[in-house]
A and B are shown apart, each in its own frame.
Chain A
Amino acid sequence: MSQPEGKGGAALEVRFVPDEDVLKHIADDAGTAGLGQRPPDTHLESESEYSASCSEEEEEEEEQKEANTVVSGRKTPAKTKAASTPPSQKTLSKKMKDDKMSNLVEEYFEAHSSSKVLTSDRTLQKLHKRRLNQETLRDLLKKAPLAFAPEIKELNQQHECLFSKWMLQLHLGFNIVLYGLGSKRDLLEKFRTSVLQDSVHLVVNGYFPSITVRSILNSITEEVLEHIGTFRSPLDQLEFIMKRFKEDSSLELYVLIHNLDSQMLRGERSQQILAQLSSLPSIYLIASVDHINAPLMWDQAKQSLYNWLWYETTTFSPYVEETSYENSLLVQQSGSLALSSLTHVLRSLTPNARGIFRLLAQYQLENKDNPSYPGLSFQDFYQQCREAFLVNSDLTLRAQLTEFRDHKLIRTKRGADGVEYLLIPVDDSTLTDFLEKEDEDV
């Protein structure tokens, strides 16, 4: 997009960004509850209008250019225009639309024109708000009443009427994808419990942080097909599944995927495999997507494999489950997952190895108040381990460290002096928890 102004104009823009922000805030404060008075962006509704207004937009840019030369730059040109020319009733809506379009473009460039960000420097720490952890967050949310419960319920009931239609369409060879605001988990659960009770089905929580296509394929081969044995690659596994389903026409499988667009599943290869899976006539896939860019995951080939029918199921239900794993910005990183994996791995090691890890953890905790703590240098660590009778040569220590590193329990980095430093990449509270737990075990 070309900005109508020259370089000087762009500089002008930068200067007046704060002004505009302030203006906006003042205007908003004058308004009711501090919420914006923007009209809904109806122009999104139809693409044709979009393109139709293009030529006029150019015209307007021309006009803006003129306005810009006349007005000595106290306000942005668009504002000047809106204020100075009271448009006739007839063209008002059109003009508004155009204004909005150019505002939209301006807004983007305003936000991206300067590398400097104009926001206040307040931080949560200064607010004296304790960071909530996942559990207290849950408890607190339970206390908050769900707004508009009857309306939401009604909305859900409307969707539930579609269940048998979905079944019909699934059986006719289509797959179903649900979109719209609100968690669709409960809806799909309801679908599962009310319709799929008597058939074999697989539920996949796409939002689960360590879900992989492999695990989905594994659950099909191991649990559905009761096949014992491993596969060299997901492709082999997929082929095996496809063969089995083609051979045995009595096999049927319903697959429900919550959040097909999750971080873990949105990759090209995963989608390819899932698409091929869904193209089998006796596998019925019903999935939900939430991300605004979810449809970008699929190219034509995948879309035709998926053979989607789209259903809008706006539920307005909170995404409680879906966001519970996310290490959200404001939630204290409880690290419960990391903790369980730590203990899990450590439990499989020799007592000596556990001791080695303990030493490192303790040392790290002792230094937790030192912000420039580089880690424990290898030589010091070796010395300490020797003193504790944990190793007898630096080779054994090295072997042990390699094993830790393979399990991502430690990280090594070289300092400025070329010395190797060892770190446990886990936050301090988790580490404390871990040590406490270890002590209990011992």
Chain B
Amino acid sequence: MSTCSVSKGCFVFKPSPKKRRVSPKTAEYFKEANNDSEDSGLRFATCQSLWKQIKSETEQVQEELNKQLFDNLVSFLRRSHSEFQEKTTEWTCRMKSREIPTAALVLGVNVTDHDLTFKSLSEVLQNNITPYVALLQAKDCPGIKNLMQKLMGQLMNCCIDVDSSDEEDYVQVSQHRIRCSMTSLISWYENITKKTDSETPSKKRISRHLQSPPVVVIFKDMESFTTKVLQDFIGISSLLPHSVSSLLCIELFQSLSCKEHLSTIIDKLLLTTQFAFKLSEKVLQVLINIFLYHDFSVQNFIKGFQLCIVEHFHSQPLSVLCCQLVEAKKRVNSLSHSQCENIRRLPSFRRYVESQVSEKQIALLTADNFLKEVIQKLLEDLHVYHENYVPVLRCLHVFTSSLPKYPLGKQIRELHCACLENRVWETEEYESSLQLARMLNKSDLVTMLQKCVEIFVSSSGKEFDKVVEKLKEFLAQFQKLEAGACQERGESVSSQKELQKKTDLYHLQKTLLELKESRRSKKLTKFEMLRFEVVDFIDNLVRNYLVPADHKTLHEIMYFNTASALREHLNAAPRIALHTALNNPYCYLKNQALKSDGGSISNKAPDICIVYKLHLECGRLINLVDWLEAFSTVVMAVEGTNEDAAASDQVDDIIHARFIQAVSELELLGFIKPSKQKTDHVARLTWGGC
């Protein structure tokens, strides 16, 4: 069956049920996409399990972050509802009962992340407060009728959930047939509360809820609702035609900012040894840039992360080793010969081989078994590197995050990127932060050291016992200094006193000079010495443990490095692609005839390129006749002159047709549009090639 038709735009193809593939496995596509099916099954399994772990991890993070917010909301709902129930007689409360308790939830600009939040919110409410929760979205409710219909539908569906055992005839009535009005809603509500009151609350779900549970309506993305619809709804649900905003008793709740959310996610996914998969500096930078400059969406960040995982396992045959150390060691033993060759081809491994003695070099390049042993050792090294990297990074962050102007960035992710990029201790920023650190005051320094001790103690690295010892020693010394400090102060006070004693101008000058002299050449105080020592110690740690990952052998196995792929698929620039294709077809069509220099394009280029190029030279309006003429001049220059009049007429027609085709293509692409300002003119829609 063809998919071209002048009467139809949609074509459904249904293969006969016999032929239909029975749920094709995603793994098969993974294999198919990999021609060298090198361990592809295992790779895919590893990939999937890793993704599953990461997904659940991120969901957990989200849940924890939302917990506080939800707790507040729940308590607000309980409070407002119980108030309403208890004091119905009081006058103030009766006034209040005309108002609808409302919680305004401010979630920030990252709209796309809200879906999840709302979903879990309505779950929480359903579990803790009331079974009657309706979640309304602006896009579903263009009018008050739709809104009511949605509302009723959701409320009555959830009451099916609750008493699914009872056979209530009204439940069976399809929602379309219920007259969707407030009165029916009220009667439904009275009906349902009567029933739960009369019944003993034996059902577990009900018992957790309040007596005569409130109805909670959640409006998602309130701004995009039509004001009319909202006004109507609030108006009728309070049954009082008062000015609408006075009917809401609003309390504000604020969610965590998305940046904090991202920090937590990065903390949990990247700065941990839990996951073997890592992102290289460039890739991480791309993801963070998309987040900061495009959408503020943590969801999208995670999506990008997923893409990284898929791409990595898909493109790197050695990614089969990208798993927990114990498992990876096992897998090394079963590597095939060609996989061993793959390892030998890794740039980082080649560097490693070159640094070895010649006998070992030969063994590494020829004996697979020896190679495997070495790989195991190297993988272990890499693992230890990661184990040490994270605590030292955090430790360094403790220092840099409190320096004025944050030369190495405020967030740990910035520091992480800097460390991944190149040797951080060679950068200017690092130098200046050390200098600033040498000027920290004592109390700050002590608290920082204490924090560092905590970090190292809680870390899993095995080499940090000595480090902790040393840090504690520093702390003890600082404490000792405190005792000595009084003495020092005494000295300075005495010199001050001396200064006050002399009244003679000559002597005063002399003492001042002396004082200045002594200050300049003054030996460092004990505190300052200690401070230098501490900073040097940290500096040493950094130099030892924060080596960039791409200096490590076999880093290619763990680190996803193809930032270009990521940018291309997530943050594509379709306009630039079009522009390049039109301006410089040689980029795509590798034909020598199209090769050009200085930006002009060959007259043999595809018609659309020529027409495009010609149109760039026109103003706002383009005369079609002139355009056609210019086009045929250009094209004819290639075809050569044809003497035969009849034949040339035909050629003329063909050129005409080609021109028409090219112009309609430009119209389709949105470069021009027909204009009625002048006969046979079109209007240009773009300027300066963009």
Enumerate chain A interface residues (CB-CB to B < 8 A).
17, 21, 24, 28, 31-41, 44-45, 100, 103-105, 107-108, 110-112, 117-124, 126-127, 129, 132, 136-137, 140-141, 143-144, 147-148, 151-152, 154-155, 164-165, 167-169, 171-172, 174, 179-182, 189, 192, 196-208, 210-211, 215-216, 218-220, 223-224, 235, 250, 252, 272, 289-295, 300-301, 303-304, 307, 309-312, 314, 316, 318-323, 325-326, 328-331, 336-337, 340
Contact = CB atoms under 8 A, between A and B. Distances in A.
Contact of A137 (B610, B634, B657): B657
Given A143-B654, A310-B572, A203 B11 contact: yes
B29 A171 contact: yes
Nearest to B110: A300
A37 B598 contact: yes
A250 B620 CA distance: 55
18 contacts: A40-B583, A41-B690, A44-B575, A44-B579, A123-B679, A132-B653, A137-B660, A144-B657, A148-B606, A203-B12, A208-B8, A292-B671, A303-B112, A310-B569, A312-B568, A316-B589, A318-B665, A329-B667
B668 A323 contact: yes
B501 interface: no
B546 interface: no
B619 A110 contact: yes
A169 B569 CA distance: 11
Interface string B599-626: 1110110111010011011111111111
Contact of B634 (A35, A124, A199): A35
A309 B623 contact: no
Nearest to B579: A44
Task: List the 4 closest pairs (A to B, CB-CB), nearest first.
Answer: A104-B688, A208-B9, A310-B572, A304-B112
A363 to B, nearest CB: 28
Contacts of B13: 192, 196, 200-203
B305 to A, nearest CB: 13
B664 A123 contact: no
Nearest to B149: A236
A141 B5 CA distance: 20
A136 B614 CA distance: 25
A141 B146 contact: no
A122 to B, nearest CB: 4
Contact of A318 (B24, B590, B661): B661
A181 B581 contact: yes
Nearest to B572: A310
Given A104-B688, A123-B680, A311-B569, 20 more contacts: A33-B633, A37-B600, A39-B599, A119-B618, A120-B625, A137-B660, A164-B29, A165-B314, A168-B29, A192-B13, A203-B13, A224-B12, A235-B146, A292-B574, A301-B112, A310-B568, A312-B574, A330-B624, A331-B664, A340-B6
Contacts, number: 330
Given A120-B623, A123-B680, A210-B9, A168 B661 contact: no
Contacts of A143: 650, 654
B690 A44 contact: yes
B620 A45 contact: no
A38 B669 contact: no
Interface string B232-265: 0000000000000000000000000000000000
B595 to A, nearest CB: 12
B33 A168 contact: yes
A32 B29 contact: no
Contacts of B623: 119-122
B297 interface: yes
B658 interface: yes
Interface stretch (B14-22, B355-363, B548-556): B14-22
B292 to A, nearest CB: 14
Nearest to A341: B7
B486 interface: no
Given A104-B688, A120-B626, A203-B11, A28 B621 contact: no
Interface residues of B, number: 118
Given A291-B670, A311-B569, A202 B10 contact: yes
Nearest to A299: B111
Given A35-B601, A123-B680, A223 B12 contact: yes
A147 B662 CA distance: 13
Given A204-B10, A300-B111, A292 B670 contact: yes
B606 A203 contact: no
Contact of B589 (A151, A192, A340): A151
A220 B146 CA distance: 23
A310 B634 contact: no
Nearest to A183: B665
B122 interface: no
Interface in B293-323: 295, 297, 299-300, 303, 306-307, 310, 314
B574 A294 contact: yes
Contact of A328 (B590, B619, B667): B667
A128 to B, nearest CB: 11
Contacts of B591: 148, 151
Nearest to A331: B660
Given A180-B578, A198-B20, A198-B21, A167 B606 contact: no
Nearest to B26: A171
Contacts of B570: 309-310
Nearest to B681: A119
B142 to A, nearest CB: 8
Contacts of A122: 623, 625-626, 680
A103 B687 CA distance: 10
A17 B572 CA distance: 37
A414 to B, nearest CB: 23
Contacts of B660: 132, 137, 328, 330-331
B374 interface: no
A205 B3 CA distance: 8
Nearest to A170: B29
Interface in B103-133: 110-112
Contact of A44 (B295, B576, B581): B576
A414 B501 CA distance: 111
B41 interface: no
A334 to B, nearest CB: 11
B626 A107 contact: no
B626 A119 contact: yes
A197 B664 CA distance: 33
A293 B671 CA distance: 10
A45 B569 contact: no
Contact of B617 (A36, A304, A309): A36
Contacts of A304: 112, 297, 299-300
A185 B82 CA distance: 63
A166 B622 CA distance: 41
A174 B566 CA distance: 14
A141 B689 contact: no
B678 A119 contact: yes
Given A119-B621, A137-B661, A198-B21, A167 B600 contact: no
Given A33-B603, A141-B661, A329 B674 contact: yes
Contacts of B80: none
Nearest to A33: B603
B588 A168 contact: no
Nearest to B655: A144
B58 interface: no
B624 A329 contact: yes
B637 interface: yes
B101 interface: no
Contacts of A224: 12, 14
Given A24-B617, A119-B619, A199-B24, A292 B669 contact: yes
Nearest to B153: A239
Given A179-B572, A198-B21, A219 B12 contact: yes
A110 B32 CA distance: 55
A136 B610 CA distance: 23
B577 A314 contact: yes
A175 B9 CA distance: 21
Interface in B7-59: 7-15, 19-21, 23-24, 26, 29-30, 32-33
